[in-house]
Structure 1
Amino acid sequence: MKTWQEAQRYCREKHTDLISGLKQLQDEELKNVMNSADKETYIYFGLFRDTWRWSDGSSFSFRHWNNDLNNQQYNSGQCAFAFNDEGRWKTDSCDQKKPFICYNDKVILIKENKTWEDALYYCRDHYHDLVTITNQDEQRWVQEKAKNASTDHVWMGLRYTCTLDF
């Protein structure tokens, strides 16, 4: 028995991830497991409600949160994420000025300090968008580039988009 977040962490550490996608949900082996479970037993799978979005609209399924944050803080109304020196993500207020990373066909570290919104417009005007990270390889690639920033944190294109925190 685990919470959804604990179940996801366990699956990612020991296997790949929680079961997800129509093909996996229709799998015969899953049907057998579900049929053998007690009728009062509920089993988690990988669907969740999320209001974090990348600035370019890309899917936000890859996670690289700072380990000391709990799920409540992920949805605390912060509208942007930044890297810390270990490459993990954390929230910060969008009006803080930090360097940022744009991308086109490659990632570009911009050593000017801007708010998240100003960084977004800068990247869209000069490149393509703020950086989007959808897998561990991209995470490592961007993390290496961020080491050359003038501060401990750099903006990326992730933000909380829930209107009025509903």
Structure 2
Amino acid sequence: MKKSTLRCLILTCLFELALCGWNTYIDKDKKWSDARDYCRKHYTDLSSISNQEEDDNLQQHYHIRGWIGLRNDGHGWKWLGGQNASFFNWLDAEDEPIHETGCVLHSARGWRAKDCGETRRFYCFQNNPVVVKESKTWEEAMEQCRMQHKGLVSLPSEAALTETLKTNQDAQTDHVWTGLRYLAGDWLWVSGENASYQPWSPTETPHCPAWTHHCGALSLNGRHLESWDCADKLNFICDTKTTSSP
């Protein structure tokens, strides 16, 4: 029963993306895929928008057209990480491009579907991680983050790792839980973030970890990830939910 509940909770978290932290406008012309790679290297990812309030917030602070993290590859409109889009703000609602392929250009007037190969300026967002100085199991930590913040932190880039380490100087344990979980033979960020960047310990390549060590913990001293016993109790890192800009 407990295992079934855990699986359900993880699947609920998986592919859940929202506008976390703050957004910034990047004054560089890039194709959508290159803009995505730039955001992941220097920030967290291309900006995502899940409701009218978040869209209004971006419009109020920036009045310039730019790529956001929404794309249709022929299988519907999805945010980076794989979540189906449920909120849209097309420039012309009557011409909603349901069947088109393309990427979304955000503007103050509304969204436009464009060829992903066009070079445009773009929006990146940066997570705001916060350390929770309570010792909990991985599952307990994930549940608390979801109730009070956003979710256990993802580290999809070196920039995200560096930012997260800055916030954890006051942690009371040498390791802290992250949102990394071993599922179906692979390590995944439960938020749905791209998992190609995983800074494992140089001595560890956890392709087949022990069945108890299916959770990812960040070593604050070693600045790397380690597979860890999910039942151990550690401090943990949540991504905060905010709609403010820097």
Q: TM-score, normalised by structure 2?
A: 0.25
More helix by share: 1
More strand by share: 2
